[in-house]
Structure formats: C-alpha cells, structure tokens
C-alpha cells in the first residue's frame, strides 16, 4: 500500500509518497517525475509526516525523526518523554528530550515552522475546555517552550521568521519575537502558500488573488 501526502518546503514543492522502505518525491510541475531515495523511516500513520524548512518531520514508533532532502536523510530519532498533564502543568518550561505537547482532546491545531528548530503551535493551554487563542513556541531540539503570546487563530504559515494567519476578518502577519501583529490585509483570506516564493493565494468567485511578501 502506498500513500501520497501533499508537502512542501523552500525550493521544492509537490507530493511525497511513502512506500515500504523508500520515499518518492514528485515535483510540483504537471507531469513531474517521481524520484526515489532510500529512507529507513516508518511513520506511525498517514498523518504523521509534516513539512519543515529543510525537509520533513516524521513521527515513528521510536519518536520524531527528521528527514532531510540532501544526501543524509535520517537525523534522530528523538525519544518521546512519558509525561502526564499534571507534569506539564507543574513544569511547563522544563527541558524535554523531544517536542511533545500533551493537550487533552485537542487535535488538528495549526502549526508552522519558523526555522529548522522552532515550531509555532496554536492554542494556549493543555485542555480543550480551557484553550485560549494564541501561540506557543517550542525548540524542537530540547522540547523547551521558548515563548507564548495571545492573539492568532486560524490557518497558519511560517515565512522568513514571521507567522501568517488567515482569520475571519482577513490576513494577519505576526512577529513572534515581540508577540505583536505587524500587518493586516482586510478581506483577504488565503488558503494556500508557496514556500519557494513566499506567495499566498486565495481563490474566490473564480478569481485567483495572490499576495507576495515584501523583502
């Protein structure tokens, strides 16, 4: 059985296909060819593979494994610590051996990579009935939470160290270093991002609207 997953990172976009012992990458151009490289990684399930700036992050039975697009594919795995919700409430900022945020009955929250070692996770709190809108920042090498701020809620992307969020009112740009909103485009609600060019796109009423970040 072979599963195909959409994915992308700077310089390369397309589809990633998981086989028994290899990863097949297809470029985003129509009719692009599959390229094959050996990859000794077996994700837990179809949803356990996510794009990151320099490759992909897979969740395996042994923990998180980084898959790079260069000659060396495998870096890791990082062992997942065993923790309870009480542990996290008591020691929210302690170093951890791997990125592992435990949240009761909270799934499919938006995440975005700011760089190869920093990931932004939406939602403040550890339980669905106490979750507030905002962002928590984590160092993926240690699992340590490095920052948090209230505000963003909606589909989210990271680009050049900034967070871009689609909300009901429009498109927001946030600086995670200051926890401040630094840009807003009213009425623009993109659903796609090209990580190679940085462009964001919205398709509405058969019209394609594209916004390119400055700089």
Higher pLDDT, 120 or 65: 120
Q: How confident is the model at residue 5 (pLDDT cuts 50, 70, 90)?
A: very low
* Pairing, β 63-68 against β 162-166: unpaired
Cα torsion angle, 23, 29, 30, 35, sign: negative
List b or e across 20-34, with b for residues whose CB sees 16 or more CB atoms inside 10 angstroms.
Answer: eeebbbbeeeeeeee
Is 50 exceeded by the pLDDT of residue 74?
Answer: no
User: Mean pLDDT across the chain, nearest whole number?
Assistant: 69
The tens digit of pLDDT for each residue in 167-201 reads 999 999 999 999 999 999 999 999 888 877 889 99
Angstrom distances, CA of residue 169 to CA of 111, 181, 214:
20, 14, 21
The tens digit of pLDDT for each residue in 109-163 reads 788 888 888 888 888 876 666 778 899 998 877 778 899 999 888 999 999 999 9
| Other beta carbons less than 10 A from residue 138's beta carbon | 22
pTM of the predicted model as reported, rounded to 2 decimal places: 0.58
List b or e across 169-199, with b for residues whose CB sees 16 or more CB atoms inside 10 angstroms.
Answer: eebbbbebeebeeeeebeebbbeebbbeebe
């Amino acid at each position: 059985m072979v599963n195909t997953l959409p994915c992308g990172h700077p310089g390369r976009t397309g589809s990633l296909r998981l086989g028994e012992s290899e990863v097949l990458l297809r470029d985003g151009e129509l009719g692009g060819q599959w390229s094959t490289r050996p990859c000794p990684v077996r994700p837990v399930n179809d949803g356990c593979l996510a794009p990151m700036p320099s490759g992909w992050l897979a969740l395996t039975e042994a923990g998180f494994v980084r898959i790079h697009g260069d000659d060396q594919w495998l870096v890791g795995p990082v062992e997942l610590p065993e923790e309870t919700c009480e542990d996290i409430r008591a020691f929210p900022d302690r170093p951890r051996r791997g990125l592992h945020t435990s949240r009761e009955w909270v799934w499919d929250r938006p995440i975005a990579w700011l760089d190869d070692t920093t990931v932004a996770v939406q939602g403040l709190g550890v339980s669905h009935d106490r979750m507030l809108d905002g962002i928590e920042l984590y160092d993926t090498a240690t699992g340590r939470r490095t920052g948090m701020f209230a505000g963003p809620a909606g589909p989210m992307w990271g680009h050049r160290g900034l967070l871009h969020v689609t909300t009901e009112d429009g498109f927001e740009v946030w600086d995670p270093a200051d926890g401040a909103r630094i840009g807003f485009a009213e009425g623009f609600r993109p659903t796609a991002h090209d990580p190679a060019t940085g462009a964001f796109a919205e398709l509405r009423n058969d019209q394609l609207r594209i916004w390119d970040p400055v700089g």
